[in-house]
Amino acid sequence: MTIKNTMPTLLAHTLSAVLFIGASSVMAHSNGIKASANNAKDPAFDIVHAKITTQGDLATFHIAVSGMAGKVKPTPTGKLAGSDVFSYVWPTTLNPAEVGFEKDAGILALAVTAHPDFDDTPLYDENGDGDKTNDGNVWHSHWVVLKPNDKCGKGSLGVVDIPKGEKPTLPKTWPGLPLLIDSPDATPIFKGDSLDITIKIDNITNLKLAKFDGVTSGLRVNESAHAPLLCVQDVFDVASGDLSLPGIVNK
């Protein structure tokens, strides 16, 4: 059985241990996934709508919340180990190979993240100050590959680590971290209660066949800054309420 076919069950089972939100009234409709409000403690992460649309070889990922999107960022700790990452995430059934990773490497998700204690986009100067190494606190984008990892906590997910000495297939804009993570040149746009990010996908046809969900979450760098390096610590809200990935691209 392929990862694509088992995705909704895998996500629902592995993240159930960290969900603390209440049941969400949700439906998949002509404009994506519509969810009821007040399922997250902070309105900035309280999802009310998620969708993916395409035009040509470009895909636009959208999340709307009940509050001000992007308003809340992690508190700096001054060190990498134990630091927090806040994120808006679209987990998908798209195969990781479609964006440059190994085939069937795990669960592919597009994420918009902020983390003041480290920078993982060395190719770009997001804050425009001439220094490409101090932009972690600016909201930016990643493709990430996730897998269940009990070292992150029973039933939790982590970004897949690259073991020392291994050289897996990686995207051209891989940022050099020992993780299955990519830092594409795609800028998130926050406007009021909405977040939109448009990204080029070479084989857009396969994305059109994929399913998706919308998630807001907190990740944490391992205290030892070692495998697992980056774990899903908290799930703030899920558009579907149960990670069933009901979203259909362009529908």
Model confidence at 7: pLDDT above 60: no
Flag whether 248 is in a domain.
Answer: no
Q: What count of other Cβ atoms lies within 10 Å of the Cβ of residue 133?
A: 11
Flag whether 77 is in a domain.
Answer: no
Flag whether 27 is in a domain.
Answer: no
Q: Phi/psi zone of residue 38: left (φ > 0), alpha (ψ -120 to 50 degrees), beta?
A: left
Give the confidence band of 18 by pLDDT, cuts at 50, 70, 90. Answer: very low
* Percent residues over pLDDT 90 in the chain: 78
Which sign does the torsion angle of CA 114, 156, 91, 103 carry?
positive
Backbone φ, ψ for residue 204 (5° rounding)? -65, -25
Q: Which domain holds residue 200?
A: 3-22+37-69+83-240
Flag whether 250 is in a domain.
Answer: no
Higher pLDDT, 9 or 120: 120
Q: Burial, 197: exposed, middle or buried (Cβ in 10 Å; 0-12, 13-18, 19+)?
A: buried
Flag whether 63 is in a domain.
Answer: yes
Flag whether 75 is in a domain.
Answer: no
Overall number of domains in the chain: 1
133-192: pLDDT as tens digits: 888 999 999 999 999 999 999 889 999 999 999 999 999 999 999 999 999 989 999 999
Flag whether 11 is in a domain.
Answer: yes
C-alpha span between 112 and 140 (Å, rounded)? 5
123-135: pLDDT as tens digits: 898 889 999 988 8
Flag whether 245 is in a domain.
Answer: no
Model confidence at 74: pLDDT above 70: yes
